[in-house]
């Protein structure tokens, strides 16, 4: 299955007053950012455990369509609001912790 049609494309170019260097500073054949790597690596086992705990909801995730008509109120994996990993994480953490309240703070 090709996921090309789900790739985000820029709706318009951005023009800046300064040149943009597109080469990554870290990773992609270069060493990682040392301080960030240290911070993430310190809790790598806990992150793995958390992500693996999401697997118990696999059947729930398999029941979600890849895409749906825009007018449908049903969830789908490819949408304009929330990425798949974010969706899996939000669903799983809510199921695992069953908070009394959930606050969503948006950006606009």
Q: Mean pLDDT in the chain?
A: 89
Name the residue with higher pLDDT: 18 or 35: 35
CA dist 82 and 75 (Å) reads 10
Domain boundaries of the chain, sorted by first residue: 29-97
3-state secondary structure of 96: helix
Calculate the CA dihedral of residues 42, 43, 47, 48 and round it to 10 degrees. Answer: 70
Interval 44-90: pLDDT, tens: 999 999 999 999 999 999 999 999 998 999 989 988 888 899 999 99
3-state secondary structure of 76: strand
Q: What is the mean pLDDT of residues 36-48?
A: 96
Res 12 pLDDT > 70: no
CA dist 52 and 97 (Å) reads 15
């Amino acid at each position: 299955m090709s996921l090309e049609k789900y790739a985000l494309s820029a709706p318009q170019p951005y023009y800046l007053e300064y040149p943009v260097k597109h080469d990554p500073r870290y990773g992609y054949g270069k060493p990682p950012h040392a301080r960030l790597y240290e911070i993430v690596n310190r809790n790598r086992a806990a992150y793995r455990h958390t992500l693996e705990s999401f697997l118990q909801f696999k059947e729930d995730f398999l029941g979600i369509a890849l895409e749906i008509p825009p007018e449908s109120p049903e969830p789908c994996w490819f949408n304009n609001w929330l990425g798949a990993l974010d969706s899996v994480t939000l669903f799983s953490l809510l199921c695992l912790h069953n908070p009394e309240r959930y606050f969503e703070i948006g950006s606009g």
